[in-house]
Amino acid sequence: MLGRLNHVAIAVPDLAAASAVYRDALGATLGEPQALPEHGVTVLFIDTGNTKIELLEPLGEGSPIAAFLEKNPAGGMHHICYEVDDIIAARDRLKASGARVLGDGNPRIGAHGKPVLFLHPKDFFGTLVELEQV
Amino acid sequence: MLGRLNHVAIAVPDLAAASAVYRDALGATLGEPQALPEHGVTVLFIDTGNTKIELLEPLGEGSPIAAFLEKNPAGGMHHICYEVDDIIAARDRLKASGARVLGDGNPRIGAHGKPVLFLHPKDFFGTLVELEQV
């Protein structure tokens, strides 16, 4: 069931500053920042060839990463996203195993326009897991 | 300079329990656990096709992930490893940009038998970054 690692999301307090460090210190090739007000974040992708880093900055009130940045003001790794072929089958297998799906348990359309689910970090040893149907 | 994402390392307090969840709930294909006493960890790789997840459990006294697990007893994403072609050139560029290399600043042989460096998480927005020469 577990497919490719689609991206690792890193929450940062200042996207311009963080992306400049990735570009200048690490030599990363940056995408363009994209404001996604309906998701409460501005995102910027770094393509590593085999997968992506998603830098996330809060946008607007009630951003889903605001609480994380309150706990981790410097930023940090926020979640990891795996691809699945069939998100409903994946959800049902996860629920049968006892894992908790966040929200109402139904996929919603994520920041990339595809159906996504988030799984409770307490069920995955402190890691917030996103599943994306590709 | 920044190459492929080689792996994401997730520290867990109990490797057997964590790997069982990855296998049973997420359908991941697990590698074999490898005890690396000289690195103070037992590791288990999950191949996602495009990259790897490295589950890490402390091994012995003074494990390099012990402090992380004291702060995050349930576990969590510990570091992210990028590949570079030339680790000395990468280090020199990083130092010129003001980033701090952990330890004595020289590459050491990492858990995969290749030269590695770790970069200070304060210089990368709360993310511990490993570079591995491939």
Nearest chain B residue to A1, by CA: B27
Give Cβ neighbours of residue A71 (< 8 Å, ≥ 6 apart).
Answer: none
Residue with tokens 């359908």: B27
- Decide if the complex's ipTM is over 0.90: yes
Q: Give the pLDDT score at B1.
A: 83
- pLDDT tier at B85, thresholds 50, 70, 90: very high
Residues A6-30 have a mean pLDDT of 96
* Average pLDDT score, chain B: 95
**Residue B70 near chain A (CB below 8 Å):** no
Q: Please give the structure tokens belonging to residue B71.
A: 């702060």
How far off is chain A from B37, nearest CA to CA, in Å? 23
Specify the DSSP class assigned to residue B38.
G
Residue with tokens 């790997």: B19
**Residue A18 near chain B (CB below 8 Å):** yes
* Pick from A42, A2, A49: nearest CA to A18: A42
Q: Give the pLDDT score at A64.
A: 94
* Pick from A61, A69, A50: nearest CA to A10: A69
Collapse the DSSP code of A35 into the 3-class scheme (helix H, G, I; strand E, B; otherwise coil) and give the result: strand
Helix (H) or strand (E) holding A16: helix A15-24
Q: Which of A24, A122, A125 faces B10 most closely, judged by CB atoms?
A: A125
Size of interface A-B (CB pairs under 8 A): 135
Q: Which of B18, B27, B121 faces A2 most closely, judged by CB atoms?
A: B27
**Residue B101 near chain A (CB below 8 Å):** no
Are B2 and A98 a contacting pair at CB < 8 A?
A: no
Are B46 and A2 a contacting pair at CB < 8 A?
A: yes
Contact present, A57 and A74 (Cβ < 8 Å): no
Q: Please give the structure tokens belonging to residue B83.
A: 């590949």
To the query of whether residue A130 is one of the catalytic residues in this protein, the response is yes
pLDDT tens figures, A68-118: 999 999 999 999 999 999 999 999 999 999 999 999 999 999 878 899 999
Which CATH architecture is the domain A5-133 placed in? Roll (3.10)
* Pick from B86, B71, B85: nearest CA to B121: B71
Are B2 and A125 a contacting pair at CB < 8 A?
A: no
Q: What angle do CA B3, B8, B10 make, to 5 degrees?
A: 165
pLDDT tens figures, B3-36: 999 999 999 999 999 999 999 999 999 999 999 9
Tell which of B6, B19, B48, B93 to mutate to test the A interface (max A CBs under 10 Å): B48
Collapse the DSSP code of B32 into the 3-class scheme (helix H, G, I; strand E, B; otherwise coil) and give the result: coil
Q: What angle do CA A38, A6, B55 make, to 5 degrees?
A: 120
Collapse the DSSP code of A14 into the 3-class scheme (helix H, G, I; strand E, B; otherwise coil) and give the result: coil
Bridge-based pairing of strands B76-84 and B129-133 is parallel
Q: Give the pLDDT score at A31.
A: 97
